[in-house]
Structure 1
Amino acid sequence: MGSENLTIRPEFVLLGLSSEPGQRKLLFTVFLVMYIVAILGNLLIMLLIIWDAHLHTPMYFFVSHLSLVDACFTSVTVPKMLANLVSEAKTISYAGCLTQMYFFFAFGVTDSFLLAAMAYDRYVAIRNPLHYTSMMSGSLCVGFVASSWIVSHLHSLLHIVLMSRLSFCASREIPHFFCDHQPVLALSCTDTSLIQMLIFTEGALVVLSPFVFIVISYALILVTVLKLPSGSGWRKAFSTCGAHLSVVTLFYGTVIGVYFQPTARYSAEKGRVTTVMYTIVTPMLNPFIYSLRNNDVKGALRRALCRKVETQ
């Protein structure tokens, strides 16, 4: 290949979700509303948990960090996507692409580990309700959260270091709305077998180990629930775990479907659609699924509003 067709530090072009002007305006409006709802919803949950002492429990400690990660996770990709929908210049620099990819990996894996920590929290709450507070101590909760952040950033750093060593051919067009690693790998002229192997080994270990932990936790929860003598106990247990289980299914179903396949089998159209689900839809729904339908959070919201009215 001639040197004119090879570049080490390219400027990429993000093709986005659609090139039709009419569709782009509609998509901009829809995703802007979804992004605002996601940010405001997650910020509201964080503020309520910080403000209300009734929510200073291990479960809501994890929920507050999940809300923080979700707000950051959706902010990695959506603002750039919105800017590209209203602009003719859809370029992103090489450094900007790697930076976006780094934080996308980091926040996504942190989200995964927090979901695993919440599954363990639900298991302890159902299995040992009388010893829940002592078993889920503050130091253990902090350890879970700190480990989630550390492991996710080390994982992300490893992948970005390898991605930074790639060279790219003449094509600079990424058929996606952000710098996802599969379409970027497809543009590389460098041998990507090492990165592919890393994705299916270390990547699978980091992403799937929390999923396996969640499955084991719910298997133990099911065994515990089946031993409960009353139907009310069953209903309480399922209401406690139902929301978490539904989000876990949505999150991991889309992640596994997109990332754990060879680059040659990667479908840009499928990748864009499924990525929208866990980068925008899931962070937007999490505040409603986890918290705003919860009586404790609704009570905290009423107390906050009442105090505001009394102050005025």
Structure 2
Amino acid sequence: MESCSNNLSTKVFFLMGFPDLQDYQTSLFLVFLLFYLLILVGNTIIITVVVVDHTLHKPMYFFLMNLSVLDMLFTTTTIPKMLAMFLVNAKTISFWGCFLQMYSFHGLTVTEALLLVVMAYDRYEAICNPLHYLVKMTRRWNIQLAASAWITALLIPVPVITQTSQLAYRDTTKVHHCFCDHLAVVQAAYSDFRADFQTFLGFSIAMTVSVVPLLLVTLSYIHIILSVLKINSKEGRVKAFSTCTSHLLVVATYYSSIAVAYVSYRADVPVDVHITSNVVFSILTPLLNPIIYTLRNEEVKSAVKKSILGKICPISSKKFDLFG
């Protein structure tokens, strides 16, 4: 029988991983290693071209660079531990290590939502108030907007994570997940009315920090669409709205993955399905963001070809348009 002590330094969490995929650990390791490398390489390319290419020294790409840094940090909170778990069966994690991972994962999740709001606001100012855009979106104001998103988001999870750490846990607590997700850890605690409250509180906060930013993004794009429709020429309307397509695709990817995770949380589905939906949410947006901006944004596409491909293979980059 598993014991329960008050010494937190001796407590550990045992991550169960995917219950029905225990015979495919090597395959899982290779798949997630590939995803992680693609995420690191793709977002590093975005950060590099934004820094070195002066044509991208604009508010829109400053916020994109923040998003890429965030995505690299976000995946680094979970994937390396998952790789160790798949490769060498390193399934245990210390008490404080678990809660640090939980805080980082949920804090950076909120940061992404708020950064998407900031990026929507940037597009609103660029299209709805073009004459005042450069005056209003100064470097100092851009830094303040980004810093506000980061700081606010990283403060929001503190109370609920702190309260969750005070629940009763066994010396070795089994967590049915690949990482220390809040809901999975709460469900692993001793049956307690506080655990039920933490489940409700965690879900309520998650819904709030998802729905409110989505409403703000939606409101921004309602104003943007109304402004674009007032442009007389079709070419002007297409050009104005084309600057928003990449951001809209990222928003759609982010919230569709959240929707799948929430549906699996509420639905009566196998544990593997619930875990998979959370894992997909944790890697899908960081994986697709650099691809979306590289393929859909002409300025980023041109900067990548000039800064990266031009130096690696200057002759080929002149002859062939690798991005279509």
In 2, the alpha carbon distance for the partners of 1:304 and 1:43 equals: 13
Corresponding position: 1:249 with 2:252:
yes
Mark the CA change 1:201 to 1:18 in structure 2 (over 3 Å): closer, same or farther.
closer
Mark the CA change 1:147 to 1:261 in structure 2 (over 3 Å): closer, same or farther.
farther
- Once the two structures are TM-superposed, the CA of residue 40 in structure 1 deviates from its matched residue by 1.0
Q: Provide, for residues 63-111 of structure 1, a one-character-per-residue CA deviation record: whole Å limited to 9, x for no partner.
A: 0000000000011101111111112331111111101001101111111
Q: Provide, for residues 153-210 of structure 1, a one-character-per-residue CA deviation record: whole Å limited to 9, x for no partner.
A: 1112222211111112587221211000111111112322442343354444333321
Could you tell me whether the CA contact under 8 Å between 2:246 and 2:297 is conserved in 1? no
Corresponding position: 1:269 with 2:272:
yes
Tell me the number of residue pairs that the alignment of Structure 1 and Structure 2 aligns: 308
In 2, the alpha carbon distance for the partners of 1:307 and 1:254 equals: 36
Corresponding position: 1:192 with 2:195:
yes
- Structure 2 spans left out of the alignment, 5+ residues: 315-324
Corresponding position: 1:298 with 2:301:
yes
Corresponding position: 1:232 with 2:235:
yes
In 1, the alpha carbon distance for the partners of 2:160 and 2:291 equals: 33
Partner of 2:34: 33
Deviates more, 1:252-261 or 1:27-36: 252-261
Corresponding position: 1:285 with 2:303:
no
Deviates more, 1:87-96 or 1:191-200: 191-200
Aligned pairs for 1:92-241 within 5 A:
92-169=93-170, 172-189=173-190, 190=192, 191-241=194-244
Could you tell me whether the CA contact under 8 Å between 2:107 and 2:156 is conserved in 1? yes
- Structure 1 spans left out of the alignment, 5+ residues: none
Partner of 2:44: 43
Deviates more, 1:257-266 or 1:137-146: 257-266
What is the DSSP-based 3-state SS (H/G/I as helix, E as strand, rest coil) of the residue aligned with 1:252? helix
- Once the two structures are TM-superposed, the CA of residue 119 in structure 1 deviates from its matched residue by 0.7
Could you tell me whether the CA contact under 8 Å between 2:59 and 2:142 is conserved in 1? yes
Corresponding position: 1:258 with 2:258:
no
In 2, the alpha carbon distance for the partners of 1:13 and 1:165 equals: 18
- Once the two structures are TM-superposed, the CA of residue 267 in structure 1 deviates from its matched residue by 6.0
What is the DSSP-based 3-state SS (H/G/I as helix, E as strand, rest coil) of the residue aligned with 1:86? helix
In 2, the alpha carbon distance for the partners of 1:240 and 1:308 equals: 28
Give the RMSD, CA atoms, in angstroms.
2.6
What is the DSSP-based 3-state SS (H/G/I as helix, E as strand, rest coil) of the residue aligned with 2:14? strand
> Percent identity among equivalent residues?
37
In 2, the alpha carbon distance for the partners of 1:263 and 1:293 equals: 35
Mark the CA change 1:262 to 1:167 in structure 2 (over 3 Å): closer, same or farther.
farther
Q: TM-score, normalised by structure 1?
A: 0.88
